[in-house]
Every structure is written in structure tokens, then in C-alpha cells.
Amino acid sequence: MYKMRSWTLNAYDRWRLGETEPARLRENRPADEPSENLLQAIWQHQRLRRDDLRTLDGQRVRVLHPGFHNREAGPDFRDAVLQFEDAPSCSGDIEVDVHSGLWRAHGHEANPAYEKVRLHVVWRGTDQIPTRPPTLALHSFLDAPLEQLEQWLTTEPAQTAPRAALDGHCHPCLRQAPVETVHGILHQSAQVRLRAKAAQFEARARQSGWEQALWEGLFRALGYKQNVWPMHRLAEMLPEIGRLNAGQPSAIPAWQARWLGLSGLLPADLSRSNLHTDHYLSQIWSLWWRERDALQHLILPRTTWRFNNLRPANHPCRRLALAAHWLAAGNLPARLEAWFATDASSARLQASLMEILQPKPDPYWSTHYTLRSRNQDHTQPLLGVARATDLALNAILPWFQARIQAGHNSDTPSRAEAYYFAWPKAEDNSKLRLARQRLFGGAGWRWLRGGAEQQGVLQIAHDYCDQSNAICSQCRFPEFIRRGATAAEKG
């Protein structure tokens, strides 16, 4: 129950709040101490006497931008812009904790993910000695009583305000530019991205051949953002595996045993609790034993893999099981070539690729997400449409584009580009969501016509947002929109 309110609750308000704190902010805690969620919300909305802010060791600090709320592992806000005393402004991350002691208790000082933290924001603290990072205690800088802030943060204006604060300087320019001009710019940036990826494939193919370059691209795309490099490294082992096997074809279980063994993710012991899993592990180990000594030097340490915020369906073991199907079939590159050469209508592009990439149900992996998960009641396909789209946009079409570029035809729109621009939208992700919000505001999703335009947004974020900061300092993209509108339309 609130002790103090800035307005009298009407019946709707009481119903909305259930006469209690909002669920998202509720935690067991002393009455005069906010939850970490509430502290984060106060920071995000900057409900502070911003001119008075001083760290516990007495430095004046100005918040030029509070940063972007990070919903994934790591600091709570990314890329804030701060100014300490009269020093030049600096960009860095913000970690929010209720107590200052939690910085050490959580081991942040030794965690590389936190090395860019410039300010530790806490509720209350007494340390006056300089700390690294400096600590800002919010309790003496709120712009309203805590109870009032807690109530305000449940309202719609409070929910929408931070989204507006994400808008970049280019947002008004993009909003005012003719629609086709904006699509022209996105088309150009998407094309740049495709051609840059193609150039990477082309360079790799010069060293290792086109087929090997394709496998590396497919494995990278299966690794998502967390596990791109270990997946890439496994694909690099293919030539050596081929030499050891003297060109003998391998069945699906043999490939699965090889990948699980080489990845370092194969458990040494049976689960003793799941019969299906133990049966599968026994089979895999009986195959892996035969090759382990010869491949020992290639085995990756388990620590190369990242599992934070990973959906079980995207677990690397499951992705390697899928790759095992492709390799055992022995004809994936040839089937992709045939698919590419066929004039598919844009409506059939995705479905016809899925027919090639989606294997038959796997006796173990179609009913298990990981080697620790319980048996699923229903068969789960090893590959979904969203992942097939990622594979198409990031590996398969750039690979075909690379082959066209290598034939010195890079200036004419290619079949690979036609497929790329016809491809439907990919699944949203946090990077794309933030870039869309900064460029297009709340209407970002509606703006984008397909997967290529999403790639175009990511390219702009890479070329401009990543080179600037949260307050868009010295970003030249708005000027490009103003000046380049005509050129982009012709694009």
C-alpha cells in the first residue's frame, strides 16, 4: 500500500494497480528501499535532480545520455554518455545495484563484460574513498518521493517516455523524407552488406575452396551471435576430418559423435536419470572412442561456448546434430546449387529452401533440446523458418553473390540480390530492435519490407551508430539523408 500518492486513485487506477505495487517492481525488501527494477526505471527515466548529481567520492557527474537498457547478460545500461567534473564527455556502461557492496559480491570487477562500466548506480552508500568505477547513490537525488515515483512508473507516459528517448538524430530526417527515399537508402545499405559478406566468402574461397567457404558460413550462422567462433572453428576442421577418414562417407550418428566430441560438449558420464539420453550417449561414445585419439588435438575447450540467454532450441549440441544430417547426406552444396538455379517465385523461395535444409526427424534430437533436457512430447523440427532465413541472408545468398562477384559481374543486379531483396523478414533480435527504434522510432517494424531491409538497418547501425554514441555525436548519417535523398532514390 502506498503511504503517499501524487494523485487520488480512482476506481480504474485501483483496479489497474490491484491496490498493491506493480508486479514488475515487487520484491521482498525493506519499505524504504527500492527494488533493483525500480532503481533501473528511475535511472532510465532520469527521475533525478540532474544538476546536483555527485558520486560518493564527491565528483560532479552530468548524464548526457543514460544509455540503452540491456536485457541480456552484462551491465544494465550500455553506451551511456557521462561527464565527470569538466572533463570531456565519455561513453561507457552503467551497472545498477541496490547496495554498493554488490559490485564485489557479484564479481563484476573481475568480469571482462563489466570493464566498460563507468558508473555504479546504487540506492544508498557511504564510501567516500574513490572507487573504480565511481559510485552514484540515488537516494539523495530523486526528483520526487520514492512512493510517488513508484506509482508514476506504472503509467503509460512513463512506459513510452524511454522509447522516445531512444530516437536518434536521424529519426526526424527519416520521418520527413519521402517513403521511397527511405526505402532507397535501406536498399543501398542492404546491398553494401550483402556485397561485403560476399567479399568475405570470396576471400575465404581463394584459400580453401568454395565448398569449404560455404560450410564455414553455414556453421557460423548456426552459432548465432554467442557461438559464432567455436562453430566456425569446427567447420575449419572439415578438411582434416576428411583426410583422417580417407574420404569414407559417414552416417548421421558418426557425424554427431564427431561434432559432439570435437566441440568438448559431450558429457563424460551418463545422466542416470533419462533412459533416452543415456541410450543416445552410449551410442555416441561408442563411435567417438574410435576417433578420439586421432582427433584429440582438435577438441575445443568447453569454455569457448556461451550459453547465456540461449534458447534451448538453439543449443549448440542441437545445431551440430543438424549439421551432422547435412554432412551425412553428402550433397547439400549440389542441392543448393540446383535450388539457386531454379526460378523460384518469391513466395516459394523460403519454402523451397526449407525443403533442402530441413532434415528428416532425428531419433534423439527431434524430441530433445539439449543433452540435459527432458523428452519432449511432440517432435520439434531441427530447423525452423527463422533460422533458415538467417542462413539464407547471412550465408547462402552471400555465398552465391560471392561466386557472381568472383566472375566480375558485381555491378549488375544478380540473381542472388534478387532473392535477397525478395526474402521475408527475419526474426527480431535485440540489436535490430534498438537500431530500428533509434532510426524509425515506434513505427520501426512497419517500415521494413523484408529481410534485406532489416540487414540494411543493421548496416547503418554498424556504419554510423557504432562509430558514434548514444547522443549521436558527429554522426553524418542525418546529413546523408538530407543530401543523399535524391541519389538514394535513383539508387
C-beta of 481: minimal distance to ligand SF4 in Å?
Answer: 9
C-beta of 464: minimal distance to ligand SF4 in Å?
Answer: 4
Length of the chain: 491
Task: Between 168 and 451, name the residue whose CB sits nearer to ligand SF4.
Answer: 168
C-beta of 65: minimal distance to ligand SF4 in Å?
Answer: 11
C-beta of 395: minimal distance to ligand SF4 in Å?
Answer: 27
C-beta of 33: minimal distance to ligand SF4 in Å?
Answer: 36
Helix 332-341 to helix 346-357 angle (10° resolution) is 170
C-beta of 434: minimal distance to ligand SF4 in Å?
Answer: 9
CB 120 within 8 A of CB 134: yes
Task: Between 425 and 462, name the residue whose CB sits nearer to ligand SF4.
Answer: 462
Query: Strand ranges (DSSP E) for 5-75?
Result: 61-65, 68-69
C-beta of 477: minimal distance to ligand SF4 in Å?
Answer: 4
Cβ contacts of 433 within 8 Å, gap of 6 or more:
444
Instruction: 131-134: list long-range contacts, CB under 8 Å, 24+ apart.
Output: 131/56, 131/57, 131/100, 131/103, 133/92, 133/95, 134/55, 134/56, 134/57, 134/59, 134/61, 134/84
Could you tell me how far CA 452 lies from the centroid of its own chain? 17
C-beta of 490: minimal distance to ligand SF4 in Å?
Answer: 22
Task: Between 419 and 477, name the residue whose CB sits nearer to ligand SF4.
Answer: 477
Question: Maximum distance among all alpha carbons in the chain?
Answer: 80
Looking up cell 564485489, which residue turns up?
104
C-beta of 167: minimal distance to ligand SF4 in Å?
Answer: 8
Q: Are strands 135-137 and 117-122 parallel, antiparallel or unpaired?
A: parallel
Q: How far apart are CA 199 and CA 202, in angstroms?
A: 5
C-beta of 476: minimal distance to ligand SF4 in Å?
Answer: 8
Q: What phi and psi, each to the nearest 5 degrees, are found at residue 416?
A: -60, -40
Task: Between 171 and 233, name the residue whose CB sits nearer to ligand SF4.
Answer: 171
Collapsed DSSP state (helix, strand, coil) of residue 384: coil
Q: How far apart are CA 61 and CA 84, in angstroms?
A: 5
C-beta of 169: minimal distance to ligand SF4 in Å?
Answer: 4
Collapsed DSSP state (helix, strand, coil) of residue 27: coil
Task: Between 175 and 372, name the residue whose CB sits nearer to ligand SF4.
Answer: 175
Nearest to 40 by CA among 96, 94, 80: 96
Q: How far apart are CA 189 and CA 191, in angstroms?
A: 5
The C-alpha angle with vertex 46 and arms to 134 and 159, in degrees rounded to 5, equals 135
CB 56 within 8 A of CB 135: yes
Task: Between 213 and 465, name the residue whose CB sits nearer to ligand SF4.
Answer: 465
Task: Between 227 and 468, name the residue whose CB sits nearer to ligand SF4.
Answer: 468
C-beta of 189: minimal distance to ligand SF4 in Å?
Answer: 11
Task: Between 139 and 462, name the residue whose CB sits nearer to ligand SF4.
Answer: 462
Q: How far apart are CA 308 and CA 113, in angstroms?
A: 12
Task: Between 221 and 439, name the residue whose CB sits nearer to ligand SF4.
Answer: 439
Applying CB under 6 A, the residues found at the interface with ligand SF4 are 168-170, 438-439, 460, 464-465, 468, 472, 475, 477-478
Nearest to 321 by CA among 269, 272, 277, 270: 277
Task: Between 315 and 436, name the residue whose CB sits nearer to ligand SF4.
Answer: 436
Task: Between 189 and 227, name the residue whose CB sits nearer to ligand SF4.
Answer: 189
CB 166 within 8 A of CB 438: yes
Task: Between 235 and 439, name the residue whose CB sits nearer to ligand SF4.
Answer: 439
Q: How far apart are CA 403 and CA 230, in angstroms?
A: 26
Nearest to 89 by CA among 435, 471, 476: 471
C-beta of 442: minimal distance to ligand SF4 in Å?
Answer: 15
Collapsed DSSP state (helix, strand, coil) of residue 119: strand
Q: Which three cell numbers stand for residue 418?
A: 534478387
Q: How far apart are CA 355 and CA 406, in angstroms?
A: 28
Task: Between 233 and 436, name the residue whose CB sits nearer to ligand SF4.
Answer: 436
Which residue's beta carbon is nearest to the bound ligand SF4?
A: 168
